[in-house]
Amino acid sequence: MTRPGPVRVAAFVLALGVAAACAPRVPRIADAARLRAFCGSMQARQTGIDSVISSTDDRLLDERPTEADVMRAVGTADGVVAYWNAQPLALPDVARALGETDGYARVDAAAIPPAADGAATRRIYLLVRDRGGKRWIALTAYDTQSVCVEGRRDI
């Protein structure tokens, strides 16, 4: 077996570098800056929160929830509100409807009520930037796991 020459190796390394530079960079969901958990004796889990908000479909629901509506839905057992400072979330259609041009909704909070037993989806609420203002929106999430778990606090 012959070894590739230095020109071939250099060309391969250059091609890898170009491919890596051209690959899309999706912002990672940062740990919440603040958390308001209604988990009783259990604790909220960041990985569960990340999984639920990243499982949303890219479609605004017709509902226009108020802060009171959202807190009422989340304030029951096993609900969580996580807060960020303009966390980018890849939702191209929702972002466009909110006036964003880069395909990312800017999320300041995610309110995750508990999913109904046996449900395949759940409604979650995001506090987002909407043309310079802030408002709550409702989305469908497909991850129905509880974001509250037994044990010590994760975040």
Residue-by-residue DSSP string for the chain: -PPPPHHHHHHHHHHHHHHHHHS--PPPPPPPSEEEEE-TTSEE-HHHHHHHHTTB-S---S----HHHHHHHHSSTTEEEEEEEEEEEE-HHHHHHTT-SSSEEEEEEEEEPPPPTT-S-EEEEEEEEETTEEEEEEEEES----SEESSS---
> What pLDDT sits at residue 13?
56
> What pLDDT sits at residue 108?
97
> What pLDDT sits at residue 61?
96
Measured between its terminal Cα atoms, the distance across the chain in Å is: 53
> What pLDDT sits at residue 154?
47
Instruction: Pick out the chain residues at pLDDT < 50.
Output: 20, 23, 154
> What pLDDT sits at residue 118?
93
- β-partners of residue 37 are 80
Q: Among residues of the chain, what percentage have pLDDT more than 70?
A: 80
pTM: 0.81
